[in-house]
Amino acid sequence: MLLEGKKAIITGGSRGIGRALCEVFAREGADIAFNYNKSDERAAATVDRIESFGRRGLAFKTSVTDRPAINKMVREIVHQFGRIDILVNNAAINRGDNFATMTERAWDEVIDTNVNGLFNVTKPVFKQMLRQRSGNILNLSSIGALRALPTAVHYATSKAAVIGFTKCLSREGAPFGVTVNAIAAGIFDTDLSDALPDRLLEMHRFWCARGRRGHPEELAEFAAFMVSERNSYMIGEVITIDGGSIT
pLDDT tens per residue, range 114-138? 999 999 999 999 999 999 999 999 9
- What are residue 55's DSSP bridge partners? none
According to the model, what pLDDT value does residue 97 have?
86
pLDDT of residue 195 exceeding 90: no
pLDDT of residue 11 exceeding 60: yes
Q: Quote the CA–CA distance of 179 and 191 in Å, as a whole number.
A: 30
Question: What is the percent of the chain where pLDDT is above 70?
Answer: 98
pLDDT of residue 31 exceeding 90: yes
pLDDT of residue 150 exceeding 80: no
CATH number of 7-241: 3.40.50.720
pLDDT of residue 246 exceeding 70: no
User: Does the active-site annotation cover 233?
Assistant: no
**Alpha-carbon dihedral 91, 58, 75, 140, rounded to 10 degrees:** -20
Domain ranges in the chain are 7-241
Q: Which amino acid is at 194?
A: D
Q: How confident is the model at residue 65 (pLDDT cuts 50, 70, 90)?
A: very high
Catalytic entry in 155, 159, 179, 193: 155
According to the model, what pLDDT value does residue 207 have?
83
Q: Quote the CA–CA distance of 80 and 76 in Å, as a whole number.
A: 6
Q: pTM for the full model?
A: 0.95
